[in-house]
Amino acid sequence: MRLKHCHNFHDFRELAQRRLPGPIFNYIDGAADDETTYQRNTESFEDCDLVPNVLSGVQDVDMSVTVMGQKLDMPIYCSPTALQRLFHHDGERAVAAAAEKYGTMFGVSSLGTVSLAEVRKKHSNPQCYQFYFHKDRGLNRAMMQSAKEAGVEVMMLTVDSITGGNRERDLRTGFSIPFRLTLGGMVQFAMKPVWGINYVTHEKFALPQLDDHVDMSDGALSIGRYFTEMLDPSMTWDDVAKMVEEWDGQFCLKGVMSVSDAKRAVEIGCTGIVLSNHGGRQLDGSRAPFDQLAEIVDAVGDQIDVIMDSGVQRGTHVLKALSLGAKAVGGGRFYLYPLAAAGQPGVERALELMRAEIERGMRLMGCKSVSELNAGNLRFR
């Protein structure tokens, strides 16, 4: 199977599985507990049908959106995710370049493997920073200042990761940073030698946002342990309000799922919220963002930019979310599998296929612009 044979999310997933060692693939692919929320995130879209209009004159289609002050040429962006150079040696560099080519936003995580400043210097498309709130308040201030100096447009504070989700696939393989694997995990690496050759022949793996502040030389640190031991479970709305004031710019909360929290985000001055359950990787059994979208848009959609992620695999999923009032949609696995499979060309192919699906879907829906999408286009089963 080659990249040119990939035509959808599932094809990219299959190619990534063929090329990645088992522990790395399962880190991307896995979720919390029984992974029921992970499955529901996509299934939620299937409970909703599109109702097209015809004869609308759709020769020219404008799929651009403006979200948190950022103009995007397409209404889906590459959500920031951790550890991208584990999936492909180019990591965030590949994603940033591909996102720039397609005129959309990308993000870098606190656990990113390329520095905020490097990609901001090379690329002009909008960039967000997925920020994790640490127990070390000095570290938080230093990381915010670095992002501000780099010219990052959107601060995206993740609020659904106060502690690590129970990701049992990682427990079985021993996945951690640096690697400390179970025997079965080591066998999986031995079976995919090309990945290992790329890993050791390119620049040393690093976490630039944290390397000057966090010492991991004493041994392996699992991602679950990172969330549980280093992030601050005492974080409150007062802490976030101070961050919003200090950032003094576009500030988004990622992981909001209730109306009351959405209203509180408005009160403290946030300019955006992302409805997200972390791709099903935190609280298994939690509600899917698409199921919760209409309720939150009805409550605060005229006061704050409402975005959603988790479970998005198709252009029609994006259209359904936009019809319910989302200003834009984020995706993680939809570009991470292509990144793992083929680096920048993979991400570009995923974005091109998504762009084509959205454009085709808008034409078939009889919509010339995103603003014409509304709840009247939908029926729920």
Report the catalytic residues.
278
**Phi, psi at residue 305, to the nearest 5°?**
-75, 120
Which sign does the torsion angle of CA 12, 165, 109, 125 carry? positive
**Burial zone of 119 (CB within 10 Å; 0-12 exposed, 13-18 middle, 19+ buried):** buried
Place of tokens 């409402």: 306
How far is the C-alpha of 294 from the C-alpha of 297, rounded, in Å? 5
What does the CA dihedral 10, 336, 332, 140 come to, rounded to 10 degrees? 160
How far out from the chain centre does Cα 343 lie? 17
Q: Are 167 and 57 contacting, i.e. CB atoms less than 8 angstroms apart?
A: no
Cα radius of gyration rounded to whole Å, the chain:
20
Q: CB atoms < 10 A from the CB of 219, how many?
A: 8
Pairing of strands 127-131, 106-109: parallel
Three-class secondary structure assignment of 107-120: EEECCCCCCHHHHH
How far is the C-alpha of 82 from the C-alpha of 97, rounded, in Å? 17
